[in-house]
Structure 1
């Protein structure tokens, strides 16, 4: 790759890459000059999934702001207007008077303004049903007197989940009563069973929506036996179980033992005793956790023993997996880019199981094309033009739930004439201006700060150059860092503001912290940092033409030394030397992913390079263990973060 390929926006604006990330909640704060029709739509209520019987009515709420927003509906991806299939579309809801097979499916509402369109999370409308019980043989259940008996009920398929009922002594029990406990699994546990509890037991399933009741085809019979001694054994569950539970739900692990004398039951999780664990409690010998979280995943062992088998107790294992609804995090300000540029969106989705990702542009699904490259969590749009403006949305689902996040893209022509003035809608307010809007400022002749009117700037406007970062890559301060910089050139259009982002390196859960400060400042203290930690910084200058290329760096905080009174002792201050141009550092975190059978994408993170923009990257590769094999330089023009290596042979191994 030739050293003449400069990737700086002030020299080759049409190739300036823009990288930004998506997340769960995004609020754009626009200046007061923006038209209400150009405000970004925001959902205040989204539809929820519903189970209803055929013929029943369904109401799906959906509301958004601003007041001028237009709300429409889709069914299975197709537009659904008022009166179609008998539905009634209101200003804040959709009403189905009588549910039929034609109106079952996946609903989404779409909120539209002049800024673009957003789709809500999907809501599934499902028909309630209750299947028949599968044929089953009668079970003879034996338990030692004074122990707990278990009657299992294999409930049939049902939407929603069926409620269980038991026939006990010619009476139907719908809830627990006395020593009869109806468990969430549908099992009936009989505590301290005696001869009076012997006899037939039958279960039934009740659908709370259709109000149907269906009875099992078989009857189980309980027999109580009397023994002088019996080794402890576990009668439920009969074998190892794997349990999936959603975060926040109650978890009940059943363990029923029998023996004479009555067995002692204990629980462990990942080999740790749970008797003194804070968030667990017990019902008889069953383990209960009221609201599970990620830390409750693991291997649970129930042990049951008495004096006969105290040294070799009976055990049963549960593998518990806590599932999490998806979450999407946002780290983004409104983006404005020049026609012909390439923009990149990143969707940071979390959840268990791993969520699937769908990209939408103005509420319409995107498909791969020459200009649109989609991966599991990234979207790249090349050669952008006016047709690419609007709202880009990341919709994620994982079977447990769904979530969505969005970002707005605005495109501007390559140059802005001296007579032209950026519309106020192109200028998002920075966080420190949300409560009190102030105009851009410029130094006056007398040192006073005067309002800056972008229309006063003459000549062709180009985005601001990356600032030069003067700070050293290491500090003795344990909890803060002084970031110092200067503009790259003094005699250029004034910088309106600096946008600074920083986060801890290596912490996958860490979010970017963003600050926007006046363009007249050249120092910012980054506070509340962690000792002896590596941080990365991205810093961008903004002028009347928009944001420029970021300057990037990494720094490490000090370990800190304790003083007499326990306080931190700061090292002596040293003068900050002027930066000098030197060869760049090696890129960080190179990653290879398959593009096609014969090509691969290589991505990386540029190092700080003392604030000097890196002009180009060269990527080379060759086959592994092939004598005389020459290095091959990847072709094409590489962006600052990725390259495509092609013409590979399937099955071959390569070194990068």
Structure 2
């Protein structure tokens, strides 16, 4: 055991170094003393061990080192068996915590080097150290966190030591309390029942055991009240006893207070039980606040309750006797519930004559007259909510308990199984609840049909009533579904047994089929709403028979039946056995035959295939009848090797014709075929065979720069070559020019950097985009069709323009004018750089605020001027405005930030203001400028509102 590394291990050849722990011990004792004397509990101390590695402190985690143990009770670290891995520099830090909050750490204690040498000593047998088991804290109180520790030495390198705990008095250990390889028992919120003797046992993987050691856990507790005082209302003249049951360790002392005045002298005189306060025949003057105080040497606790004595003359104000109605032969309950104190006697009178208990079931004490309710049978619907009322009257001094029974078995409402979850007792408020004792069955099912009975019980007697509940709904599943062995190609004969009608006669049936090719859960209705009169009843068993038609040939099926009544369609029957209809020739033909394209010398055509349900027999395939247009005879081709397209949505077949048969018309007819024969044949469809690759190249290829990143290319159409078919379009080939376009270096550049732009249709112009600025390109054009690409044209060369203006106009200023709906815009222009094209002009771009910019903007081209006018603006409408320069290289960058402005109509000006030119001021915000022409009374108002104004003008700009 290492008491801050003071330990003994016979297997170590050299004695381990003993460290000076006086500084650490004094620090720990100081923390303990201050903690015990202050408001913080000792349970707030936490000892943490660190290892110093490369100047950094790493916490020692015992979960990865089973031979190491950190004791919070003894404030030490111990090793069951030391190894070379335990060598290192150890540091201890003590942390003060309170309610889980870290308050402060102790100063860093001196480093403690620890060295382990190898040894040939035999393995030690397990032995529990003398100071263990240990308890932390040493004097635990009720509610504290308590830790019991056990630590032993012994061989622990492989499976480690095994720790077991037991309580000597035979009680079980608190579940889930074992920690740290079972060396520790943690007891949060410890209670007196956790007291006792705890024994620790240890053994190693070889079965050797240490001598068990035990420790006695004693718990102290300041007083607490298992049953505190409660407010009490008592009738005048009754006897009342107030009980003060306080528990504590050690036993508490008691004191009573009445309205804050001690009555302890009565206890000392033996006239008052310390734990009970009795009042005989209470009067109104006894109404008081009573307090019981309990204390011991650990603390004190008080419990208070008010006693209110009442005297009230009988009154029916809250519960008057209400008129009641009943049926002849039925039952009626009338209640007499006056309020008063002390208790009252009641009697019933009928036409001024007193009723005796022989004429009714009457409680002479309470005046409640009760007549028995006859059982009532009910029919309810499936999935509905059913309320079964049950109510009985008795003396208010007797508690009533209601119990419900289903088919003689009591319903246990506190059970959590599926059967009990449907039931709910609305027994919420006692004793005034209107539905007290009512049974509610939610989502009632057929299996809930049966006899229900309610039993009302008091300590003196019980009474019961009941009724039969029947559930109506859709029919139950049919059964015994069988298919006649005499099966046809599209028709079978089926029979079945009708299921439960569920209180509504069956009117029709629905028959569903599941094909072998379909998923097991896919059922298709094959006979819908088959009237029961259309089926034949087979006597004497009463089975039903019907024919199922319109089934697919040569298809495996299974069937099921559903019954129908006025309340809905029932559950399906179990499916029948699989059966297969007889085969027949196909009855459907391929659809949507199209084709064309492909390699020259071939005929390619596609069609929509038949569903496997329509194959109707084995050896299914397609057959094509093909002839050149104008011929009389068809060639017949069996299409075995077809190619699926779009995931099987279409099938394609390629027929080889010959090298010279390109782009010729052919007529095709198709039919589906199986072992039983061929189906219907389609009408002829004309399809062109594959076209020939174009053999002529475009001519007259020229090119011109469009801007800094695009080139426009023109060409002339080549003469049509024989069998080339329709033109698909043109491909523009281009790559950066590094030398002559026909040189070997150019071919290498074409291979590495070449790209192509495709232009569809029979056109003579195309645009290449995404090019580098101020760069020469080699360009060629070729024609393509469905057969492929044709020959390339001769090469041409073209350079792109330099880049567009990269600087944007600045100092954009907006001014009002004397022209209606017009503003003047001025700016500082930009200077073209050497790598930019020369400026050709400026544009003013504006658009309404909140609109789609690309769809609503308007450009005003002002040439090379650095000012311009925007006309036709709408009043009371906000606009965005930006200015940009342009050149042959393209559109330059737009001015920033965006200008925002609005024109106010003259009619909205202040009376007396003049309509004239307004000096416009830019007000900069994060990303935009906001300009608003608004009238003001005078210049001072503009200044007061933080705006700049033009002298002698009556407008400000926002």
TM-score of the superposition, structure 2-length normalised?
0.27
Based on CA coordinates, which of the two structures has the bigger radius of gyration?
2
TM-score of the superposition, structure 1-length normalised?
0.37
